[in-house]
Amino acid sequence: MPKPIPMKYLLPLVALLIVFSIQAQSLSIKMEELSAPEFISAVEKSSKTIILPIGVFEKHGPHMPVGTDLYTAREIALRAAEKEYTVVFPWYYF
């Protein structure tokens, strides 16, 4: 019969496995935060779909930033990607 593992060794081992398991499962939804190998995994995980937020860079008066439409498009894309995993690219403006 194998000798039981002492508890003082078991708890750190379990904690280490949990940390690595969490890191392995958490691919960022933001393209700019992914490494090249992570990007490939992320695109495969998202069934080869991405979101490219597009917005207009224009004046909205003296009280709002000119990038308001860009911020809105990116935020909507990020919220959607949190619900159904996909990769969100940086915004594209015209």
The residue extents of the domains of the chain are: 28-93
Using CA atoms, how far residue 65 sits from 2, 45, 58, 76, in Å, is 67, 35, 9, 18
- pTM over 0.85, yes/no: no
Residue 19 has pLDDT above 70, yes or no: no
Average pLDDT over residues 28-46: 96
- Contacts (Cβ under 8 Å, ≥6 apart) of 31: 39, 42, 50, 87, 88, 89, 90
- Are 55 and 90 in contact, with CB atoms under 8 Å apart? no
Name the more confident of 53 and 57: 53
Mean pLDDT, all residues of the chain: 86
Which pLDDT value is given to residue 79?
97
